[in-house]
Amino acid sequence: MIPADLSKRRGLASPANPADDGSAAEDLRALLRRPTSPEALVDALAHGRLLVAVSAVLEDTDESGEEKSSYMAVVSMINAAGEKGLLAFTGVDSMTAWDPAARPVPATGADCARAALEDGAVALVIDVSGPSPIALDLSVVRALAARG
């Protein structure tokens, strides 16, 4: 996992719906479970809510080893070829299945795709630990980023 500085992606930190309880949209999960066209995925995800995983990253410690400074960062995965994929989740349940310590930040699929591209990712990896993991390749990520 390689964290990316969140300070450059302020749009991910502003929830569009403060009443969002983190539940997955079952219609979106159903779409991700079945084979579909890239266009259908882009249409569904462009304004649909995903959750981006953020984690605390220790930046500096004092002489005793106590934390002096840290920051929150989005989480990416690197595949065997060295390519980066930004992680996103359809619900809090799928995020906590992956890492119970990760904090969810709601964002549209289009915002997630733009953040992935800004971070040099070539994929958007959704629900990496299930229930229906899917990796959107660079062409779909670019199309999604152009929406919204």
Domain ranges of the chain: 4-14+27-145
Cα gap 82→95, rounded to integer Å = 23
Give the model's pLDDT for residue 13.
47
At residue 3, does pLDDT exceed 90?
A: no
Q: For 89-133, how does the pLDDT look when each residue is reduced to its tens digit (9 = 90+)?
A: 999 999 999 999 899 999 999 999 999 999 999 999 999 999 989
How confident is the model over 42-56, as a mean pLDDT? 90
How confident is the model over 67-92, as a mean pLDDT? 87
> Do the Cβ atoms of 121 and 141 come closer than 8 Å?
yes
Give the model's pLDDT for residue 15.
53
Give the model's pLDDT for residue 75.
85
Q: For 25-34, how does the pLDDT look when each residue is reduced to its tens digit (9 = 90+)?
A: 898 999 999 8
CA distances (Å), 75 to each of 21, 23, 82, 134, in order?
21, 20, 15, 16
Report field, pTM of the whole predicted structure over 0.85: no
